[in-house]
Amino acid sequence: MTGVSDQKDRLFRLIALLRLIPREPNSISTSELRSKLAAQGFEVQPRTLQRDLSGKLSIEFPLLCQEEGNTNYWSFRADTPQSNFPSLDMPVALAFLMAESYLEKLLPHSTLQLLTPHFDQARKQLETQTQLSTARWAQRVRTLPNGKSLLPAKVDGEIWTTVSTALLKDQCLRVSYLSRGREEPRELHLHPAGLVARHSQSYLLARVEGYDDVRQFALHRIQQADELETPALVPNDFDIDHYVQGSLNNPAPSEMVELVADVSPQIAWLLSETPLSIEQSLEPLEGTDWQRLRAWVPDDKETLWWVFGLGENMRVWEPEGWSRTIRDRVVRMNENFES
């Protein structure tokens, strides 16, 4: 007779098993499922696992089985609703809806689609509230970017899947890449090192075969991607945070500099609520409603561009190089308008 403990163990094993099965077009073999279950502490015989999959689970859940030779590959139908334990509570469901409207301005559509089941589950969870329909939630929640945001660059869904899978598995990629300014794509052998989403574009960080340094490749410029069996080799000293701080903004890692500037009342109020840095101070300027700002910030193009965008609301004194750069840009802008 099967004991209560055995029934609970089998229940937990079946839940773990279902969580391991991906949606189509992805799939996972029976042997790989058994290996992943073993890694979670569930030892199961191949026949038992096959019986679970092809028996009650296939009857109760929309499982698909594809046979290739002597191997069975399992997946859920693409339209299978997301199933999590426990279910989402109302604040978490609302947070998912806010995240969706925020991420759709940042991530490619193909990437956002991977999160659709989670967003759909959040909507269905909110629909259980009879006093507040989903439509009313949609009318009450907005997320707005700080400044002008461009539409995300289009990334092919299969390319995203191939690139992200190769990165997770530490496998090399063969890609057809169209660089900016080139008329024809070129084939590259890449060793993936990381992924970075920056504003409306996503980048693969990778080492090109034959070179030692890590470079960035815009995902929307990859026209074809194939995962290779070759293990990816990345420099031992590669640090993604160090790379992001330097190579995405400057040719070298950024140093910290003290920004000294006079700011208008509106900007002073903004920075008092959302500081530019941890080390920041604002002091009233005598005889005016402006304030003197002092803040330690990265010496990078992005911060300089943000300062420049404040226009007549900020007068920059230090760093001297920033002040000179802003003056030169203003002169060139005037020349453009006068011409």
Helix/strand/coil (H, E, C) string of 29-55?
Answer: EHHHHHHHHHHCCCCCCHHHHHHHHHH
Element (H, E) at 270: helix 265-273
More confident residue, 129 or 74: 74
Instruction: Please give the structure tokens belonging to residue 152.
Output: 């995300």
Q: Which range is least confidently modeled, 67-81, 86-100, 227-241, 308-322? A: 86-100
pLDDT of 8 reads 64
pLDDT score for 1 = 45
1 vs 266, residue with greater confidence: 266
- Tell me what the mean pLDDT of segment 100-117 comes to: 73
Give 325-335 pLDDT, tens digit per residue: 999 998 998 88
Widest CA span in the chain: 92
Q: Is the pLDDT of residue 260 over 90?
A: yes
CATH fold of the domain at 4-76 = Arc Repressor Mutant, subunit A (1.10.10)
Residue 176 has pLDDT above 90, yes or no: yes
Start and end residues for every CATH 2.30.30 domain found in the chain: 157-247
Compute the average pLDDT of residues 299-307: 86
Is 70 exceeded by the pLDDT of residue 150? no
Is the confidence at residue 86, as pLDDT, over 60? no
pLDDT for the residue numbered 144: 66
What is the torsional sign of CA 260, 266, 268, 272?
Answer: negative
Strand order in the sheet with 71-76: 28-29, 71-76, 63-68
Interval 27-72: pLDDT, tens: 899 999 999 888 888 888 888 888 888 887 888 888 888 888 888 8
pLDDT at 197: 79
The pLDDT of residue 318 is above 80: yes
Helix, strand, or coil (residue 323): helix
**Range with the poorest average pLDDT among 91-105, 167-181, 259-273:** 91-105
Average pLDDT, the chain: 82
Contact 259, 322 (CB under 8 A): yes
Report how far residue 129's alpha carbon sits from residue 97's, in angstroms, rounded to the nearest whole number: 15
Confidence check: pLDDT of 9 > 90: no
pLDDT, residue 139, reads 61
In terms of pLDDT, which residue wins out, 70 or 114? 70
| Rounded CA separation 121/94 (Å) | 11
Q: How far is CA 103 from the centre of its chain?
A: 9
CATH fold of 256-338 reads Alpha-Beta Plaits (3.30.70)
- The answer to whether 197 touches 164, Cβ cutoff 8 Å, is no
What is d(CA 195, CA 108) in angstroms, rounded to the nearest whole number?
13
Contact present, 197 and 253 (Cβ < 8 Å): no
Q: Where in the sequence of the chain do the CATH 3.30.70.120 domains occur?
A: 256-338
Secondary structure (DSSP) of 220-233? GGEEEEEEEEEEP-
Q: For the ranges 12-26, 137-151, 163-177, 189-203, which has the lowest average pLDDT? A: 137-151
Query: CA-CA distance, 111 to 114, in Å (whole number)?
Result: 6
Looking at residue 258, its pLDDT comes to 93
CATH T-level topology, domain 157-247: SH3 type barrels. (2.30.30)
Helix (H, G, I), strand (E, B) or coil at 197: strand
- Where does residue 332 fall: left (phi above 0), alpha (psi -120 to 50 degrees), or beta otherwise? alpha
Q: What pLDDT is attached to residue 207?
A: 92
What is the per-residue pLDDT for 206?
92
DSSP E strands in the chain: the ranges are 28-29, 63-68, 71-76, 171-177, 186-198, 201-208, 214-218, 222-231, 256-263, 280-284, 291-298, 314-318
pLDDT of residue 103: 76
Least confident of 19-28, 100-109, 151-160, 245-254: 245-254
Cα distance between residue 169 and residue 164, in whole Å: 9
Residue 261, pLDDT > 90, answer yes
- How does pLDDT run across 193-244, given as a tens digit for each residue? 988 877 777 889 999 998 888 888 988 999 999 999 999 998 888 888 878 7
Between CA 249 and CA 304 the distance in angstroms is 11
Residue type, 242: H
**Range list for CATH 1.10.10.10 in the chain:** 4-76
| Rounded distance between C-alpha atoms, residue 51 and residue 145, angstroms | 51
